[in-house]
Amino acid sequence: MSIANRTECSCVSLLADDKTWTAILEPALCQDTAGVEALALLLFTLKRAIDSGPEGARRASQTLLHGIELIYLHTDAHKAALKLYVLSLEGTLKPQDEPLQLVNAAIERGTSRAR
């Protein structure tokens, strides 16, 4: 969709509206114009792949999942998991608080709810 056709977005159900995009972009990313350009190029590449058909959509989905995995390394969840892991290495946790114990239990609960 070209900039001229941008109003077409109002008639479809967007997964992220202007408010969401602005909230994501404004904090730090907009300070880095090269980063914004790189993100725009990535989004355009993903759009082009999705529009190309099922194989392109699969590749776009896998690319997004890979990006999510990389982004995780910069999240508070990752920082907390790393602290928990270090506590485990130090031997200061109770058996029920060991990382694998906690994570596997949460995965099991989440998986059973999804069924």
- pLDDT digits (tens), the chain, 115 positions: 445 455 455 557 899 999 988 888 887 677 888 888 898 999 999 999 999 999 999 999 999 999 999 999 999 999 999 999 999 999 999 999 999 999 999 999 999 888 7
As a whole number of angstroms, the distance between CA 45 and CA 51 comes to 10
- Helices and strands in the chain: count of H runs, count of E runs: 5, 0
Residue spans per domain, the chain: 1-74, 75-115
Rounded to whole angstroms, the Cα distance separating 46 from 50 reads 6
d(CA 40, CA 29): 12
Predicted TM-score of the model (pTM): 0.76
CB 35 within 8 A of CB 29: yes
Which residue carries 């506590």 as its tokens?
87
Residue 78 and residue 72 in contact, taking contact as beta carbons nearer than 8 Å: yes
